[in-house]
Structures are given as structure tokens and as C-alpha cells.
Amino acid sequence: MPITDQPPLHDPGSFSLIALLRHGLITLVFCCLVALGLTVSTQQPWDNQLVYSIAIGTTTWLVIDIGRHLLRTDPQIPWPTGPRGPLLVAAGILCGFSVGSLVGDLYCGCSTWGFYSAAPQRLWASIAVTVSAGVAGSYYFFSRGKSKFLQSRMALAQRDAAEARLKLLETQLEPHMLFNTLANLRVLISSDPERAVAMLDRLNDYLRATLSGSLASSHTLQAEFDRLRDYLELMVVRMGPRLRYTLDLPAELAGQPVPPLLLQPLVENSIKHGLEPKIEGGSITVSARRQGNQLVLEVVDSGVGLQPEAASRQGFGLAQVRERLQTAYGPQAAIDLVAIHAGGTRASIIFPYQS
């Protein structure tokens, strides 16, 4: 999930003991298959062929798998580039055949070079099998490593693109809110200068808190509620007793990561379309709760309720919230507006809870 405070994606270029052991296990299985094929074709003892095959294969694998980390020029790419790659494979196969033959000779009490001096074709056949197996194994591991490397780069690019998109949407929301606030401030300057000064002070506090976290693509739900409280206090200066609010955030949900400015457009809609048209104003309640594996955020107002032109009520802010939820969570997120029977509107946001 791109907006969360998640750890960095695994770097396929970094050394991993688990990956090394996994490659070794695959190599052992491959060596057993080669030994079985040689036993059937040459009628030589199975145990001798197995020792030779494992000794040659594991030595080749160790030289290549460890060497690729030592010889690579780019720390982000998990294999050496240019001629170093083929030369490493050749060196691995040469070391594997030499060391593996020595180990096999010690096991069976014979001499590979002495045995094959009488039958050179057997020597060339063994070399051909070793080279073929070494190249095939190297290509297999290279293909798998390259595939994982490309997948990791794609995932990182997608995450960066999603975060950049979220920041773009946020930068579109902030001027929208600021312009609305400045328009209200302009009215107060002529009608009530004292309240205008108080509103300007609140706006200054709000912007200071907002700009301090503007570089993050996500923040905690506690930070979102704190930012929302600053905004509501700003609106209280403008509306006076006509605006009352309640923020209900359970302590166990305070650390949940969310995109910045997720709730403010909903609160702004409630004020503009629900409470301002009502002479006596009303109240807004913002709450958060966990519902199974989902997190539910609600903004409930006691305003005039959804009107027949409810589609226009969605406006810019709500459209941006929908798009940001889609960018961050895809089909796992939903937002809904419903009329409350007693009057008012409930806006609900639902997205996955992160344990």
C-alpha cells in the first residue's frame, strides 16, 4: 500500500543468506538429476557419479553466486555487467570441474586424468556435460534474478508514482481550502475586524502545522485529527456559536497511517452545504472506528441534509478524496454520502485497517 509508512522494498541486489541457501538447494537437486542421467548412460556406480556431480556443481555454484556480489559494479544490480559476467561463469565452471574432480577422485580412489588419458572422448564428454550444466544453471539463476530485479524496480516505480500522485492531489486541495478561507476573511475584515484578526491568527497556526508535514505522503490518524481540529477552530472564529464539533478518535487507532487532508474536504462540505444554509447552524462529529479488517471514518453533520442537487454537493473536495482513495487503496476503499433521517448527512470513508 503506497501511502503507508512501510519499510523500503527489498533490494534484489543485496546479499541474502536465505537466497544463497535456496540456490544451493536447487543446485543439489540439479546435481542429483545429472548424476542419475550419467549413471544410466555410463553404467558407472551411482554413488561415484553423485559425489562427482555434487562436488562439481556446488563448487561451480559457490564461485559464481558469491563472485557475482564481489564483481558487480552497480550496487543496485545483482549481477556483474559487461564481460565480467561470462568470465565469472567460465571461472566457476573451471574451478568446479577441477575441484569437483579432485573430490570425486578422493572418494572413489581413482584418478580422473589417468582414467581419461586412455579414453579422451570420455574426458571431452565430461567437460561438455559440466559446461552445459554450468551454463544452463547460470542462465536459470540469472533469468530468475533478473525477473525479480525488474519486478522490484517496477513495484518501486509504481509506489513512487502513487505517492507523487497523492502529493499532487493534496497540493490541489490545500489552495482550494486556502482560497475559501481568504474569501471568508475578506468579508470579516469589513464587517467584524476583531474576528478577522482572530481568524487570521488561527489561519497562521493552521498553516504552520500544515507546512511542517507537507513533505510526507502520509501521516497518522492522530495527526489528521489534530490538523482537523486546527481547521475547525478556524471555522469557529468565522461562524461563532453556530458551529459546534466533536472529534472522536480511539487511542488504539491514533497511529493508523492515512493520506493528509483526507477528512478536511468532507468537513468543509458539511459546513458549506449543511450548516451554513441553516440559520441556527449545527454540529459536526468526526469519528473513527475499526470494523473487522477495515477502518471506518465518518463525518456526521446536523445540517440541512442532502438536497435534490446532491450531486453538486460533492464538488471539488469530495471528488479529490475519491481519487486519492482510489490511488492509495484501489477497490479496497469506498466513500459514501447518506442522508440522516433526523436531518443532516453522514459521509463515510472505508479502507483497509493496517495491523
Which of 92, 126, 155 is the endpoint of a domain?
A: 155
pLDDT digits (tens, 9 = 90+) for 200-211: 887 777 777 666
Residues 23 and 100 in one domain: yes
- Counting the structural domains of the chain, the total is 2
State whether residue 313 is helix, strand or coil: helix
pLDDT digits (tens, 9 = 90+) for 119-129: 566 667 777 87
Residue type, 156: L
Element spanning 87, H or E:
helix 84-108
Which of 104, 136, 155 is the endpoint of a domain?
A: 155
**What are the start-end ranges of the E strands in 43-158?**
none
Q: Judge whether 12 lies within some domain.
A: no
Cell of 57: 556443481
Q: Give whole-number Cα distances, 167 to 171, 232, 261, 299, 323, in Å.
A: 6, 23, 10, 23, 12
- How far is the C-alpha of 282 from the C-alpha of 293, rounded, in Å? 33
The CATH number for 346's domain is 3.30.565.10
Residues 207 and 128 in one domain: no
The domain in which residue 59 lies consists of 17-155
pLDDT digits (tens, 9 = 90+) for 248-262: 999 999 999 988 878
Q: Judge whether 271 lies within some domain.
A: yes
pLDDT digits (tens, 9 = 90+) for 84-138: 888 888 888 889 888 888 888 888 877 766 656 655 666 677 778 778 887 887 7
Greatest mean pLDDT among 73-87, 168-182, 250-264 lies in 250-264
Q: Read off the DSSP letter of residue 69.
A: H
Q: Read off the DSSP letter of residue 301.
A: E
Greatest mean pLDDT among 140-144, 220-224, 255-259, 286-290 lies in 286-290
Residues 278 and 131 in one domain: no
